[in-house]
A and B are shown apart, each in its own frame.
Chain A
Amino acid sequence: MTNSIADIHLADVLMITGSNTTEAHPVISLEMKKAVRQYGAKLILVDPREIELAEFATLHLRPRSGTDVALYNAMAHVILENNLANDEFIKTRTENFDAFKEAVKDCTPQWGEDITGIPAEMIVEAAHMYSQARSASIFWAMGITQSSHGVDNVQSLANLALLTGNFGRPGTGLNPLRGQNNVQGACDMGGLPNVITGYQTVIDEAVRTKFENAWGTSVKIPDKPGLTVTELMQGIHDGRVKALYIMGENPMLSDPNINHVAEALSEIEFLVSQDIFLNETGQMAHVVLPGVSFAEKEGTYTNTERRVQLVRPALPIRGDAKLDLDIICDLGKRLTKSNGKTSNDVIHQITDWNYKDASAVWDEIASLTPIVAGMSYQRLNPNGLQWPCPTADHPGTPILHKEKFTRGLGKFTPLVFREPAENPDEEYPFVLNTGRLLQHWHGGTLTRRSEGLDWVVPEGEIQINNEDAQEMNVTDGDLIRVTSRRGVVTGKAKLTSKLPRGMIFMTFHFVEVPANKLTGAAVDPIAKIPEYKVSAVKVERV
């Protein structure tokens, strides 16, 4: 998020797109509802489904799946056509405006209606509402990013914010809602193939040298980005990837197209799973290493507003399990020793894999990472700090891009609308959409072990529009079979008027009804995020 949870209620207009916030980020949805009910903000909701937030929406736009760019290009067209843009902001803080203007020249509201199915008047109204607000903020989640052109989707939203100058003030900005508790941190810490900590790129020689020296490595950090998850799975298939070390993840359930993943993991030469449960991935592993839960460890998580917060141990370690940090340090020692270096080798200048505790690891991170350089455990206690926080006396940054953008000027991106990789057709006439439920979490490893939560929602259901169901003679609880070009899943039907006709909705929390057997292998060419929200399927009564 460019902005903070604490300033959500200060927006005049909120535009929420591709986020069922009530279910996926419940406590943030409270702030959004407060903005509407208590502070009189207007809410533009963009979602094909009639989700709970629709009750709070001033305008509910229900686009055909996968047509986001067309909607936002059309809104930009209206804003420009009616002189509703923030000219001063465009002039002083942005670049590439002319190319962008040219790109949306023909994106009339009618053009938008033809592609998205949203009435042209509603597109016009949304454009007025968003651009006329004193402060307007945009929120999105996986509905925007899990697309074969997720990067375009995000850029089309950024264009709107640039056009109207909605940056750098409370209640504005671009606010992606991060899914899992520490996605932000995993990315910040170099858990990506192209960047080390704080988004320092591996392409940059100075960056590589800095880390090589600090770490005292005997190997060179490669100057090319590595493989993404999806590419790693493909690499196993192709025989290029021979070993995988997986910590705290279950790609068997969370990857698109799990048949493909299961095949890959069964072929791999060496697989290690470090986890607190023996999950589907662990069952295929050669070695399983028992780590500990958040309640037994010390460390930090970084939330969706870039706030680094402390995790504190509350319980003793169970059985012969080990702190995950200790497991990794143990591995580090064994690997470097076998590399021919002893533990008192001067090459390992900083720590030599002997860290006193988690705060010592943090101090090493801070020493190598400008965006968190000013943070220490002492300062993070009790309320955490939001990065960037470059120095020990810096108060942290609740709002990004105040005076200027990180890259200097904000850049408009001219975009051409492209259809999703797989649209419904005669053979597969339905669109499959996937998402989360409030009561369960991701692959279900944690929540499905909570008796209370599993009792409320014990089964994965397949949601289908009432009228579609009636036509097929299906009623609540009937078994239906959903087939895509990649797999088949059978489950109980749940009729609902909240889905548009022609759409099927499933969650990915349940092993018994694994939606990801059906989803596509198409991925965004840049972000490499798979298309989860649009897969063509057919539906039959069993």
Chain B
Amino acid sequence: MGLIRKGDAKAFELLIARHQRAVYNLALRFLNDSDEAEDVAQDVFIRIYKAAATYTPDAKFTTWLYTIVRNLCFNVLRSRRQAVIVSVDDEALPELPAQNEDPVKRITRQQLRKKVIHAVGRLPENMRLAVILSKYHGLSYDEVAGIMGCSVNAIKLRVHRAKALLAEELSEFKGETNDY
């Protein structure tokens, strides 16, 4: 365990470096809007900086962090409550597209990606967040429950229902998903 000098500004930069990717992608997948995701992610770290004095390490740091992301994301949803339509964000292209990939496969892959974004976006908010935290952040049901402030059973049920809904939405891609 390393020690940092009292009040070292590098510590905060380290915190950003370690978590900005996860924070940004969580907000991006949940909100499906790169501008809003960027705003949320920035806000998360600024709030952490300001609230550091009130942080007590009884919960896992990431649980605390993701709870802040969750709260700010729901704030965004609240403020755009009128506009319900979720559009596919074409700006957020996947990083490192596979170069030597069969062009036909690549098209299918991009189609699948759009389909996935659409399907996840159609999930109810709480179900969507549970799916994102569980699937993309590799969190256990227990951790997801901690972040979302509900029981493990509620998470189990949400993820279960989400899988069923996603299976229906994505069923036409049956047999093509093994490549991903």
* A is bound by B: no
A residues engaging B (CB < 8 A)?
none
